[in-house]
């Protein structure tokens, strides 16, 4: 079976690629959906797999700037809409699409790729490692009291899309500078994706946008919907959060208190929260918060040396022997110090594959976890502990949005 992989050349091909990939996900795209998607992705980054002139699958990648430990950002491929028609499973179409995508990303200067995995086994064989964890919560309102006395002093306003598009991005960027794993959002991304309310995608009521102000200045925001339900004459509705961004502890207290005090609802639900979320300490009864942990983003190193050199490290040094069968340019020994990463002929302290480097890159996992999980091999005494001392960070990585 001859498979040709190339970028989409028209909106029609983009729509066909989205529908071929979306077949197994249960969604269908109209022409206007392809037009909107084209505002987020460069057409040449949407690779489609063709057989006999028909689109049978493909893989797309957004051009992202991803935050890394230390506050810098690196060019990264935000991999999205990956798949093939069920008629073309295990025939090489996905592998060909992924290989072409990674080669293109490296040529563009991306140092890493990352994604939300539908199946870990698929992406693990292409060098992706799970790099963060996220939580989802369900919290009954009657169990939402704070542990410490709190008197709100801020104000919250419901704002329209235009005001949200003006005031939300600077707040998001402040948090992005603090959190590895977040990506910079374009104006189009904000207006036609994150803030956009598509009635076909609603799970309950419309999407609302709330702005917290402290001393008259924007201090945080929430995007949410309300799903109302009544049983026996009483409300059992829920506040379903899309995103909450609070750059400071005070803003977090103010906005979460407001969200937890909604009338005519009985619970608050949220997904895609960082593992070290402040609600564990804010709440008097955190045990009543059903916090479920899931895997977060998966990271694939495209240029190991450049990616490692872009983030900060603590004092010390470690030599890593990296294996990469898919992108052999990454294979070899790398000496990592606070000055960055460079190739070396020195004896390695640890041996691991490129997926392991992806797992520790943002600070979401440790070398000790890799060793105990049979993902890395210690070649010197206390190598994992020394590597963790060099790579260690003080904040969990977080990507606030599934893309």
pLDDT tens column, 248-260: 999 999 999 999 9
Res 235 pLDDT > 80: no
Q: Chain-wide mean pLDDT for the chain?
A: 95
pLDDT confidence of residue 201? 79
Residue 125 lies in a domain: no
Which domain covers residue 224, as residue numbers? Answer: 134-294
Are residues 234 and 342 both part of a single domain? Answer: no
pLDDT confidence of residue 185? 98
pLDDT confidence of residue 32? 83
Are residues 192 and 235 both part of a single domain? Answer: yes
Are residues 35 and 55 both part of a single domain? Answer: yes
Summarize the confidence of residues 307-318 as an average pLDDT: 98
Summarize the confidence of residues 288-308 as an average pLDDT: 97
pLDDT confidence of residue 1? 61
| Percent of the chain topping pLDDT 70 | 99
Residue 93 lies in a domain: yes
Find the CATH number of the domain harbouring 376.
Answer: 3.30.1050.10
pLDDT confidence of residue 22? 82
Which residue did the predictor score with more confidence, 198 or 350? 350
Are residues 285 and 310 both part of a single domain? Answer: no
Are residues 86 and 180 both part of a single domain? Answer: no
Residue 32 lies in a domain: yes
Are residues 289 and 306 both part of a single domain? Answer: no
Record the pTM.
0.94
Are residues 168 and 282 both part of a single domain? Answer: yes
pLDDT tens column, 13-37: 999 999 998 887 777 777 788 899 9
Are residues 14 and 100 both part of a single domain? Answer: yes
Summarize the confidence of residues 284-311 as an average pLDDT: 97
Residue 399 lies in a domain: no
Res 218 pLDDT > 90: yes
Are residues 279 and 319 both part of a single domain? Answer: no
| Percent of the chain topping pLDDT 90 | 84
pLDDT tens column, 335-345: 999 999 999 99
Contacts of 90 (CB under 8 A, 6+ apart): none
- Structural domain count of the chain: 3
Res 389 pLDDT > 80: yes
Are residues 269 and 311 both part of a single domain? Answer: no
């Amino acid at each position: 079976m001859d498979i040709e992989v190339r970028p989409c050349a028209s909106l029609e091909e983009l729509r066909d690629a989205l529908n071929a990939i979306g077949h197994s996900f249960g969604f269908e795209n109209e022409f206007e959906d392809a037009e909107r998607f084209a505002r987020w992705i460069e057409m040449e980054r949407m690779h489609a797999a063709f057989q006999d002139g028909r689109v049978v699958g493909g893989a797309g990648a957004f051009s992202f700037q991803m935050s890394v430990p230390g506050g810098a950002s690196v060019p990264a491929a935000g991999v999205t809409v990956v798949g093939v028609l069920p008629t073309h499973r295990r025939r090489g179409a996905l592998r060909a699409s992924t290989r072409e995508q990674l080669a293109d990303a490296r040529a563009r200067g991306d140092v890493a790729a990352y994604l939300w995995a539908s199946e870990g086994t698929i992406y693990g064989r292409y060098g992706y490692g799970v790099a963060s964890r996220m939580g989802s919560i369900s919290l009954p309102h009657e169990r939402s009291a704070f542990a410490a006395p709190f008197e709100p002093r801020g104000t919250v306003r419901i704002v329209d899309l235009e005001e949200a598009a003006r005031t939300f991005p600077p707040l998001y960027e402040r948090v992005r500078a603090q959190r590895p794993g977040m990506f910079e959002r374009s104006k189009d991304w904000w207006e036609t994706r994150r803030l956009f309310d598509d009635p076909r995608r609603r799970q309950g009521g419309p999407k609302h946008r709330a702005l917290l102000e402290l001393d008259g200045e924007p201090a945080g925001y929430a995007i949410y919907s309300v799903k109302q339900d009544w049983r026996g004459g009483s409300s059992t509705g829920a506040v379903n959060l899309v995103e909450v961004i609070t750059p400071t502890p005070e803003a977090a207290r103010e906005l979460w208190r407001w969200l937890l005090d909604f009338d005519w609802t009985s619970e608050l639900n949220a997904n895609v929260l960082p593992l070290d979320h402040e609600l564990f300490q804010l709440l008097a009864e955190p045990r009543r918060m059903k916090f479920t942990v899931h895997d977060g983003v998966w990271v694939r190193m495209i240029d190991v040396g450049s990616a490692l050199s872009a983030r900060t490290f603590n004092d010390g040094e470690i030599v890593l022997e990296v294996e990469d069968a898919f992108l052999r340019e990454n294979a070899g020994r790398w000496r990592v110090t606070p000055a960055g990463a460079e190739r070396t002929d020195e004896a390695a302290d640890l041996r691991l594959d490129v997926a392991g480097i992806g797992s520790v890159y943002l600070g979401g996992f440790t070398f000790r976890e890799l060793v105990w999980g049979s993902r890395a091999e210690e070649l010197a005494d206390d190598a994992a502990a020394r590597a963790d001392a060099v790579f260690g960070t003080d904040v969990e990585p977080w990507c606030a949005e599934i893309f």
